Amino acid sequence: MVAAEDNAATAGECFTAAVGGIGQHLLQQHSHQAFPQPLPGTKPPAPDTTAAATDRWLLAVSEPGIGRLALQARERLNLLCDAGSHIGTSLSVTRTAEELTEIAVPRFADYAGVDLYDCVLRGHDPTGLDEGLRRVALMGIGENSCLHPVNALIQLLASTPQARGVAAGQPVLEPDLPTNLGWMAQDPERCRKACEHGIHSLVAVPIRARDITLGVVSFYRCTTRETFEEDDLTLAEDLVNRTALCVDNARLYTRERMISTELKQTTESLRDTLDHQRRFTADASHELRTPLAGLRAQLEEARLHPGQTDLTDLLNHTLSDVDRLQAIITDLLSLARTGTTPLTAPEPVDLAELVETEVTHRIGDHHPTRLDLTPDVLANAVPIQIRRMLNNLLDNAQRHATHHVTVEVRRVDDADHIAELSITDDGPGVPPAEHEHIFQPFTRLDSARSRDRGGTGLGLAIARAIAHDHHGTLHVEDARPNGARFTFRLPATTS
């Protein structure tokens, strides 16, 4: 195109020079006519100094089309200059694509769409057309163009101009879209409406950087302007190439930022885990050391004063401390296995039957347990773990209840298929600020509820871990008029 314009300019200069000679001759003729020579023997007339400036004129003649080409070249140069200063102002892939469409419309195209691979938006290298392209930017002179909207996932057919451009790595020109069967095959109804809207020509340019195809840009023109020509391919490719480098820089920045964020989150998670393990180890050591210290003190006192020692009382206290040690160790092992050992095959469990059977077999409860059970509430669960969680919650409720404990089973919502098991006591309750804290191992509260009578401090932690293993939740809330209500919810099943 540049060579053609140079040749045209040279021809224009030659033609202008020739016409210039003709112009000089015409001016001389005009001069003789305006100022005739005096007759022999007469005085030449004085020149008319009052002639208006408008009587003097200049004739400029040039080759047809040269001015239009010069104007077009200037417009294209200005467009590229503006693209260089307005595209890539941020390290956002999406914003960079939007800047391209804002520059191209309406100065170069009536509509412009940018489609990128999803993995490019996440900072990764693309894997191929099979992944599909995501429309990230669309700009047009009007609405209801029927082109794919922003966020649409496009699976390009191999026959489309965009797919052919991506495969060849070269821009593709389609000057007559309504007759292009490959383009129409992508989405016949959408393409038909686009043609009815006036869209008639297309330039598809692949977005390539570092020999990697990141996506494709589609430029469209309507009936309001001429169709794309071969000369437009170079300009379209220059615009997209400038954008491709900016998109790739933004993609690499996105990847590095995601890696940095993941590393930061991993580091924080490891730090939190390490802190949790340290606290857990310190709490476990304290819980184990307390009964051991009491046991040692009793045995040393018996050795120092054997005559004053009641053997039966000593043995009873010793066995009590040993039982507590054994219970703590058992709970520690159970808590360690929960969440790390794969869940055994679940089976449909009737929660009402399980609760009724387990409550009936309990021995040594200080307060009566009331049952409010809805039959045929089924859930896929591991029965032995549900029993363990139920007994932990019942033990906790019995320790803090004043008069009675209530166990309820019901289906929360038939539409949501949620089963609910709740245990309520009428004790002092749990302060709202401690509703989450009490599920931590070895938690001790400052309220009256902290007077743990026989608990290991691990029962609620184990109960919540079992709930999570069953894809459920366990939380505590205030009961009315007083007390605490522990609610376990998990997905229900019909068979």
Please give the Cα distance from 459 to 482 (Å, whole number).
22
Q: What is the pTM of this model?
A: 0.53
Per-residue pLDDT tens for 406-460?
Answer: 999 998 876 668 999 999 999 998 998 888 888 887 776 644 444 444 566 778 8
Q: Where are the alpha helices (DSSP H) in 305-382?
A: 311-337, 351-361
| Ranges of H-type helices in 379-435 | 383-400
* DSSP structure class, residue 329: H
SS3 for 415-427 is CCCEEEEEEEECC
Model pLDDT, residue 345: 74
| DSSP H helical ranges for 89-160 | 93-104, 118-121
> Exposed, middle or buried: residue 250 (CB in 10 Å: 0-12, 13-18, 19+)?
buried
Q: Which amino acid is at 313?
A: D
Contact present, 71 and 105 (Cβ < 8 Å): no
Distance linking the first and last C-alpha atoms of the chain:
75
Task: List the pLDDT tens digit at each of the 495 positions of the chain.
Answer: 444 444 444 444 443 444 345 445 444 544 444 445 555 555 555 555 554 444 555 545 555 667 777 887 888 899 999 998 999 999 999 999 999 999 999 999 999 999 999 899 988 888 776 788 999 999 999 887 889 999 999 999 999 999 999 999 999 999 999 999 999 999 999 999 999 889 999 999 999 998 899 999 999 999 888 899 998 999 999 999 999 999 999 999 999 998 999 999 999 988 887 887 776 677 677 667 767 877 888 888 888 888 888 888 888 878 877 877 877 777 677 666 665 555 567 889 999 999 999 998 888 888 999 999 999 899 999 888 898 899 889 988 998 899 999 999 998 876 668 999 999 999 998 998 888 888 887 776 644 444 444 566 778 888 898 898 888 999 999 998 889 999 999 998 876
Residue 15 to residue 250: CA distance in whole angstroms: 51
Please name the residues in contact with 268: beta carbons below 8 A apart, sequence gap of 6 or more: none
* 171 and 204 Cβ atoms separated by less than 8 Å: yes
